[in-house]
Amino acid sequence: MIPIKDHIWANDVSPLVSVLCPTYKHVQYIRKCLDSILSQETSFRVEVIVRDDASTDGTTEILREYQTAYPDLVKCIFETENQYVKGIRALPVLVRHATGKYVALCEGDDYWCDNDKLEQQVAMLEQNPNCFMCAAKTRIEEEGKTDAPSVILHGLPQEFLSFEDLFSRCYLHTSTYVMRSYRDVFDRWEKHIRLSDTALRLIYSDLGPVVFLPKVVSVYRITGEGVWSRLTEEQKLKEELDLYKSFYRHFHLKYKKRFFRLLIEQYLRAIKISHKRYRWRSTFSHLVSFLRHTSKSPIRAYKHVQRLYRNGSL
Mean pLDDT computed over every residue of the chain = 84
In this structure, are 215 and 263 located in the same domain? no
Side-chain-side CA neighbours of 304 within 13 Å: the count stands at 18
In this structure, are 206 and 258 located in the same domain? no
In this structure, are 243 and 200 located in the same domain? no
User: What percentage of the chain carries pLDDT values higher than 90?
Assistant: 47
Does residue 19 lie within any of the structural domains? yes
Boundary of a domain, candidates 222, 241, 262: 222
pLDDT of the residue at 150: 76
Boundary of a domain, candidates 173, 193, 222: 222
pLDDT of the residue at 198: 79
pLDDT in tens, 36-71: 999 999 999 999 999 999 999 899 999 999 999 999
Confidence of residue 140 (pLDDT cuts 50, 70, 90): very high
Measured CA to CA in angstroms, residue 156 lies from 15, 124, 165 at distances of 31, 17, 8
In this structure, are 59 and 97 located in the same domain? yes
Range of the domain at 301: 233-310
In this structure, are 30 and 141 located in the same domain? yes
pLDDT of the residue at 147: 66
pLDDT of the residue at 222: 83
State the amino acid at position 155 in one-letter form: G
Judged against a pLDDT cut of 60, whether residue 312 lies above it is answered with: no
Give 234: exposed, middle or buried? Use CB within 10 Å, 0-12, 13-18, 19+. Answer: middle
Please name which of 206, 211, 232, 190 lies closest in space to residue 95, comparing C-alpha atoms.
Answer: 190
In this structure, are 239 and 295 located in the same domain? yes
Measured CA to CA in angstroms, residue 222 lies from 60, 69, 230, 235, 291 at distances of 21, 29, 11, 18, 36
Parallel, antiparallel, or unpaired for β 178-180 and 74-78? unpaired
16, 123 in Cβ contact below 8 A?
no
Judged against a pLDDT cut of 90, whether residue 250 lies above it is answered with: no
In this structure, are 295 and 182 located in the same domain? no
In this structure, are 197 and 277 located in the same domain? no
In this structure, are 94 and 143 located in the same domain? yes
In this structure, are 275 and 304 located in the same domain? yes
pLDDT of the residue at 60: 95
Q: Which of 113-122, 137-146, 202-211, 243-252 has the lowest mean pLDDT?
A: 243-252
Judged against a pLDDT cut of 60, whether residue 304 lies above it is answered with: no
Does residue 228 lie within any of the structural domains? no
Confidence of residue 227 (pLDDT cuts 50, 70, 90): low
Boundary of a domain, candidates 222, 255, 286: 222
Judged against a pLDDT cut of 60, whether residue 245 lies above it is answered with: yes
**Which value, in Å, is the radius of gyration of the alpha carbons in the chain?**
21
Output phi, psi for 145, to 5 deg: -125, 60
Does residue 205 lie within any of the structural domains? yes
In this structure, are 183 and 243 located in the same domain? no
* Geometric angle at alpha carbon 23, from 21 and 28, rounded to 5°: 115
Parallel, antiparallel, or unpaired for β 111-112 and 160-161? unpaired
Does residue 27 lie within any of the structural domains? yes
74, 44 in Cβ contact below 8 A?
no
- CATH code for the domain of 95: 3.90.550.10
N-to-C CA span, the chain = 54
Domain count, the chain: 2
Does residue 14 lie within any of the structural domains? yes
Does residue 260 lie within any of the structural domains? yes
In this structure, are 154 and 279 located in the same domain? no
Does residue 117 lie within any of the structural domains? yes
Judged against a pLDDT cut of 90, whether residue 255 lies above it is answered with: no
Does residue 227 lie within any of the structural domains? no
Helix/strand/coil percent split, the chain, to 5: 45, 20, 35
Query: Averaged over 221-238, what is the pLDDT?
Result: 68
